Amino acid sequence: MEKLRMVHLDFIAGMPRMEYLGSVVERLHKCGANSLLIEYEDKFPFQKHTQIVHEDAFSREELASFLHHVDSLGIKTVPLFQCLGHASYVLKHDAYKELREERASDWQYCPLHGDTFGFLNDCLEEIVEFHPNSEYVHIGCDETWNLCKCQDCQKYSPAVSYAEWVNRIHREIKKRWNKKTIIWGDMMVPCTCDHPTYPQIADILDKDIIIAYWDYWNSRLFPFLDFYKEKGFRVICSSLAAHPFRHSFQSQIQNITGFIEASLKYDNVIGNLVTCWGDIAPLWETVMFEFGVGLQKMVHNEKPLSELERDALNAICRYPRKELIEAFYMLSLPGKGDAPWKLYLARKAGSLFDNLNVTGDPAIRIIHFFTRIMEYKAEIINNECQHALPGEANDKRLNKIKDEIMSQGNELLGCFLRGNTLGSDEYFGKYLQ
């Protein structure tokens, strides 16, 4: 069976324009993708539970047309619908507060609440209807750190509560739609953070559940490949394309290519996935390069990295120059809210632009100019932060400058990278004079 060569399209943080989305999947296809993991969150056009639908969500027509396009390219889809944690987009609404595991937290469902299973089934039914040809359904279930907090759930151990819940949904998916279930595997392996995890889960889970093993930091050793194999699971190896605390392509590319390489030694690995999380990611367009390198590695493991990068750039990137894309990547990384960080990125991006011949392309010239403005402003904020006196007025002033940097950056980069012709002439005009 052909292995999955998959990337993650995550709509948590926002919706791209439909024509842009179309070009994204065409380029991913050109680079070797044979499947997409699609995480809708509140951007799916639910009909039964309309309260959770975001105003920017796909319309039913848009989604049908997008999925038809994907299908016509021969790309399979795997919908991702969170069935335990990561549920804030549902549980923040008053109408669904009842389903919370903890009164004070909108993070996680209570699996024993009488309405949780029915609610999730309603949603799954609508999602599966849109994905009739999908072989798999990914039900998330990662980072479910609020297990057994309510009175009813406290009668069980976290491992039993988790595993039996996942089994129940998995069996329903199998029975109703004859599809295979995928979950993230982190609740059964030791975590690098302080949260407890439960290896016993692996012994209770049905063995035909597929484990998406995510590891976003390592580049050579992926310690739980052996664990999952010994426990009898099939695995999808999941790396990360962009991380807000890492400010160069290099570290993520090592994670992506290293995981693919390591996976080859395991016959229970059914595919590789490169993820990118909408809430912590820079602009999609800049992440395309890393998606591309990952996909090329999945197709041509034998090629040296320089060739993979070259081929990815040519196949996938609108602006086939790595320095340029990396500079955009840094400029569009979500801020951690502190000036030194922003200043560092603006300087680094600026120095990458210095190495390019920017005079030939007006758009790049503007971005270069803009980078310098960002750097200048970030320097001011940095200075102010170091010598700031406490006080609301001062905070307000600093935040205003910060917001200005962020909004101008997003707008300009958005116009440029998404090829938004509506905005570009008018907007660039201000900077060209």
Residues forming contacts to Zn ion in the complex (CB under 5 A) are 101, 110, 112, 150, 153
Residue 359 pairs with which residues in a beta bridge?
A: none
Q: Which is nearer to Zn ion, 144 or 219 (CB)?
A: 144
Q: Are 153 and 112 in contact (CB under 8 A)?
A: yes
Q: Which is nearer to Zn ion, 101 or 186 (CB)?
A: 101
Q: Which is nearer to Zn ion, 124 or 147 (CB)?
A: 147
Q: Which is nearer to Zn ion, 101 or 311 (CB)?
A: 101
Q: Which is nearer to Zn ion, 76 or 100 (CB)?
A: 100
Angle at which helix 305-316 crosses helix 284-299, to 10 degrees, equals 130
Gap between the Cα atoms of 330 and 248, Å rounded: 7
Q: Which is nearer to Zn ion, 102 or 230 (CB)?
A: 102
Q: Which is nearer to Zn ion, 113 or 348 (CB)?
A: 113
Give backbone dihedrals phi and psi of 432, rounded to 5 degrees, phi first: -85, -20
Cβ 158 to Zn ion, closest distance in Å? 11
Cβ 266 to Zn ion, closest distance in Å? 36
Four-CA torsion 32, 36, 37, 38, nearest 10 degrees: 140
Question: Which residues make Cβ contacts (< 8 Å) with residue 308, sequence separation at least 6?
Answer: 257, 293, 296, 297, 300
Give backbone dihedrals phi and psi of 214, rounded to 5 degrees, phi first: -100, 135
**Quick count: other Cβ atoms within 10 Å of Cβ 177?**
16
Residue 151 pairs with which residues in a beta bridge?
A: none
Cβ 224 to Zn ion, closest distance in Å? 28
Cβ 273 to Zn ion, closest distance in Å? 30
Cβ 215 to Zn ion, closest distance in Å? 30
Gap between the Cα atoms of 356 and 38, Å rounded: 36
Gap between the Cα atoms of 252 and 147, Å rounded: 31
DSSP at 58: P
DSSP at 155: G
Q: Scanning the structure block, which residue is given the tokens 């072989």?
A: 135
- Decide: helix, strand or coil at residue 135: coil
Cβ 140 to Zn ion, closest distance in Å? 18
Cβ 373 to Zn ion, closest distance in Å? 51
Q: Which is nearer to Zn ion, 101 or 326 (CB)?
A: 101
Q: Which amino acid is at 46?
A: F
Cβ 398 to Zn ion, closest distance in Å? 43
Q: Which is nearer to Zn ion, 154 or 351 (CB)?
A: 154
The DSSP secondary structure of 93-109, one letter per residue, reads SGGGGGGEEETTEEEEE
The tally of CA atoms less than 13 A away on the side-chain side of residue 429 is 7
Cβ 152 to Zn ion, closest distance in Å? 5
